[in-house]
A and B are shown apart, each in its own frame.
Chain A
Amino acid sequence: MEFLRFLLRRVLWSLLVLVGLSMVIFIIARAVPGDPARMALGPTATQEQVADLQKKLGLDRPIVQQYGLFIAGLAHGDLGRSLLTERPVNDDIRDTFAATLELVLATIFIAVVLGVPLGVVAAYWKDRWPDNVVRIVAIFSAVTPSFFLALLLQILAGYVLHILPTTGRLPPNFDFAPTHTGLVLIDSLIALRPDAFLEGLRYLLLPAIALAAATMGQMARITRSSMIDVSSQDYIEASRAFGVPEWVRVCKYMLRPSFVPPLTILGLEFASLIGNAFVVELVFAWPGMAAYGIRTILQKDLNAVMGVVMVSGVFFVLVNLVIDLLVGLVDPRVRIRGSRQ
């Protein structure tokens, strides 16, 4: 019950964050020195063309009314029209978001599945060689810029070893399109196409690794320190005294409470993960929302830019809600007390 109230509070709070976010984005987009319509059309456009576009974008109305329109649009899930593609921004983002979602999900999977065990290993053999190895891996993965790691992976796997494709999401002219969920790995299973699944995996692997490295390093570091904190607790000593098998003690009694800090950090780190996705998608020509964002930014396509930033923010907020829920599932103390600390 307490936990339900906690979740409800988090949901309300998330909505508030989103309203605040929409204001910040709106202010940035309207604080532009000069006229967005003029900027989009370029210096060669005539005065009538500019006035026309201003009217179309609602720029001729008072600023409060403009924000009202923006919010009303958001509430209906309408982000306006892209000046670059001349389509609704919604459609553009919907078409590209699935690719980004697939990349991000694969990234989180890799980061958790590699990072957490590395942290456990480091904590178990604290100050011995496995700990040092994990420490070096964690530091290097944190300080290597994503775009540089992406390039290195491309050189290594694409040009030197010739084992994995370096650009795109599926082979060119491949007779499969993800139509159900938009995720290649899931849709290929639904369509019973193992060949498409394997191809999708081959294309996904390098970008996901490039994007996952930094988060994986953080996961390993945080898991290590929280495992070490937990290992000094009395109940761990007690379980040892009772003769609980070693692996049960480490994997169940120690790992479960140690899982909360890495999860929380994953939520906070998620913002920089989305940021890095912009760079990684560009390097691997991944047809995602970030690549779309970069294109529209270079074209000064304000509606589309606002849409991309807003969707990134919504994505961040949703992921953090899911993490709150997971933390509650992992840690019963949170369910009872109703807080994350």
Chain B
Amino acid sequence: MSDELTLAEDAPRLSSAYQSWYRFSRNPTAMIGLVIVAVCVLAAILAPWITPHPDHVGAVVNFRARHLPPSADYWFGTDNVGRDIFTRVIFGFRISLMLAVVVLGTAIPIGTILGLMAGYFGGWVEIVFMRFTDIALAIPPLVMALAVAAVLSPDLVNSMLAIAALWWTWHTRLIYSITRQLRTREFVEAAETLGASKFHILFREILPNCVSAIAVKTSLDCGFVILVGASLSFLGLGIQPPTPDLGTMVASGSAFLPDYWWESVLPGCAILFVALGFNLLGDGLRDLYDVENVR
């Protein structure tokens, strides 16, 4: 008897988590995305142990092996100073993922808090915050990052700061529109009637309802932040050599087109690969949570 009772209590919770996973795993594109993201993250974490030539990360020079085409020894060929491109691509994932984590780790909390406040309080808070967001939206992130790189010095930290300084706008707009819809819902009004604090209403009543939208947006954004970061380093304003970075590798390899095509094309494919993974994962999560309007 008691066994049955336990089962009945646990059943809904278990089945809803299992149901979500079941629906997610039946979605082929979402699963492909998840696998790609998992592969990239694992490869980045384990880079020093799984790459064939971990010493090629630094300023190693091996002129006898320069410009070698892809082979069993060098899967992606070698670059103009004889370093293994495959090794450097795997280490490049580290920089790309770190950029995404830092930018989104800064932009999402800021964007979410501003969006919650603007959406819930309305009035002048809404006007000031949303107008400020509109102004920030008018500046292209890449141009902003370029300008910041110009007045400060071009390096990883400055690029991350510059991208994060504009990225929160999209999250503010998203959370704002959700909060506006939720503000008049019964459970919020009930909490207000019970005298709950503003903090409680914002973070315990409204925020949990935004989590699925934030998850979808974050996954899609990871891919786009990595693309912006790669564009910056392609222009020579991101991570400085000899640290391996995918955008920098495409740029330096493009000097040797078309003869040594692998030096730029294969790192470029690596950027595409990781961005594709996050995009498919985000699409899959969107189908799962049924949040249509998140991009």
Q: Does A109 contact B (CB under 8 A)?
A: no
CB distance from A126 to the nearest CB of B (A): 14
Q: Does A293 contact B (CB under 8 A)?
A: yes
Q: Does B148 contact A (CB under 8 A)?
A: yes
- Specify which of B132, B280, B295 is in contact with A139 (CB 8 Å cutoff): B280
A28/B228 contact (C-beta < 8 A), A17-B135, A275-B140, A316-B140 known = no
12 extra interchain contacts, Cβ-Cβ under 8 A, other than A218-B295, A298-B150, A313-B139? A13-B134, A20-B131, A21-B139, A25-B147, A28-B147, A29-B151, A33-B152, A143-B276, A148-B271, A151-B250, A151-B265, A278-B142
Chain B, range 253-295, C-beta contacts under 8 Å to A: 254, 257-258, 261, 264-265, 268, 271-272, 275-276, 279-280, 283, 292, 295
Q: Does B35 contact A (CB under 8 A)?
A: no
Q: Does B41 contact A (CB under 8 A)?
A: no
Q: Does B146 contact A (CB under 8 A)?
A: yes
Contact across chains for A145 and B230 when beta carbons are under 8 A apart? yes
Interface of B is mostly: helix
Chain A residue contacts of B257, Cβ below 8 A: 151, 154-155, 159
A36 to B142 CA separation, bound complex (whole angstroms): 22
Chain A residue contacts of B149, Cβ below 8 A: 297
- Specify which of A24, A144, A151, A265 is in contact with B135 (CB 8 Å cutoff): A24
- What 0/1 pattern do residues 134 to 165 of A give for CB contact below 8 A with B? 00000110111111100110110001100000
Contact across chains for B231 and A21 when beta carbons are under 8 A apart? no
A143/B272 contact (C-beta < 8 A), A33-B152, A148-B250, A272-B141 known = yes
Q: Which residues of A contact B (CB under 8 A)?
A: 13, 16-17, 20-21, 24-25, 28-29, 31-33, 36, 139-140, 142-148, 151-152, 154-155, 159-160, 218, 225, 265, 268, 271-276, 278-279, 282-283, 293-294, 296-298, 300, 302, 305-306, 308-309, 312-313, 316-317
Chain B, range 168-196, C-beta contacts under 8 Å to A: none
- What 0/1 pattern do residues 215 to 244 of B give for CB contact below 8 A with A? 000000001000110110011110000000
Chain B residue contacts of A33, Cβ below 8 A: 152
Q: Does B98 contact A (CB under 8 A)?
A: no
Q: Does B137 contact A (CB under 8 A)?
A: yes
Contact across chains for A139 and B279 when beta carbons are under 8 A apart? yes
Contact across chains for B137 and A148 when beta carbons are under 8 A apart? no
Contact across chains for B231 and A279 when beta carbons are under 8 A apart? yes
Chain A residue contacts of B141, Cβ below 8 A: 271-272, 275
A145/B138 contact (C-beta < 8 A), A139-B279, A309-B144 known = no
Q: Does B42 contact A (CB under 8 A)?
A: no
Contact across chains for A143 and B147 when beta carbons are under 8 A apart? no
A308 to B236 CA separation, bound complex (whole angstroms): 19
Chain B residue contacts of A151, Cβ below 8 A: 250, 254, 257, 264-265, 268
A139/B135 contact (C-beta < 8 A), A148-B271, A309-B143 known = no
Q: Which of A154, A155, A273, A296 has the most CB of B within 10 A?
A: A155
CB distance from A90 to the nearest CB of B (A): 18
- Specify which of B134, B139, B144, B279 is in contact with A143 (CB 8 Å cutoff): B279
Contact across chains for A279 and B235 when beta carbons are under 8 A apart? yes
Chain A residue contacts of B235, Cβ below 8 A: 278-279, 282, 294
A13 to B135 CA separation, bound complex (whole angstroms): 10
Q: Which of A142, A144, A154, A275 has the most CB of B within 10 A?
A: A275
- Specify which of A16, A28, A145, A159 is in contact with B148 (CB 8 Å cutoff): A28
The 20 sampled A-B contact pairs (Cβ below 8 Å) are: A17-B135, A17-B138, A21-B138, A139-B279, A140-B272, A144-B275, A145-B272, A146-B231, A148-B272, A151-B265, A218-B295, A272-B141, A275-B228, A275-B231, A278-B143, A278-B146, A283-B254, A297-B149, A297-B150, A308-B143
Contact across chains for A147 and B250 when beta carbons are under 8 A apart? yes
Contact across chains for B231 and A147 when beta carbons are under 8 A apart? yes
CB distance from B1 to the nearest CB of A (A): 48
Q: Which residues of B contact A (CB under 8 A)?
A: 131-132, 134-144, 146-152, 223, 227-228, 230-231, 234-237, 247, 250-251, 254, 257-258, 261, 264-265, 268, 271-272, 275-276, 279-280, 283, 292, 295
A31 to B254 CA separation, bound complex (whole angstroms): 35
Interface of A is mostly: helix
Chain A residue contacts of B147, Cβ below 8 A: 25, 28-29, 297, 305-306, 309
A232 to B203 CA separation, bound complex (whole angstroms): 36
- Specify which of A145, A152, A225, A309 is in contact with B227 (CB 8 Å cutoff): A145
Chain B residue contacts of A283, Cβ below 8 A: 254
A20/B135 contact (C-beta < 8 A), A28-B147, A151-B250 known = yes
Contact across chains for B230 and A294 when beta carbons are under 8 A apart? no
Q: Which residue of B lies closest to A136 (CB)?
A: B29
A130 to B208 CA separation, bound complex (whole angstroms): 37
Q: Which residue of B lies closest to A294 (CB)?
A: B235
A309 to B148 CA separation, bound complex (whole angstroms): 11
Chain A residue contacts of B139, Cβ below 8 A: 21, 24, 271, 309, 312-313, 316
CB distance from B274 to the nearest CB of A (A): 9
A225/B292 contact (C-beta < 8 A), A147-B234, A155-B258 known = yes
A317 to B292 CA separation, bound complex (whole angstroms): 27
A294 to B131 CA separation, bound complex (whole angstroms): 29
Q: Which residue of A lies closest to B137 (CB)?
A: A271
Chain A residue contacts of B142, Cβ below 8 A: 272, 275-276, 278-279
Contact across chains for B140 and A271 when beta carbons are under 8 A apart? yes
Chain A residue contacts of B137, Cβ below 8 A: 268, 271
Q: Which residue of B lies closest to A218 (CB)?
A: B295
A42 to B142 CA separation, bound complex (whole angstroms): 26
Contact across chains for A139 and B276 when beta carbons are under 8 A apart? yes
Chain B residue contacts of A32, Cβ below 8 A: 151-152
CB distance from A38 to the nearest CB of B (A): 13
Q: Which residue of B lies closest to A228 (CB)?
A: B292
Contact across chains for B146 and A317 when beta carbons are under 8 A apart? no
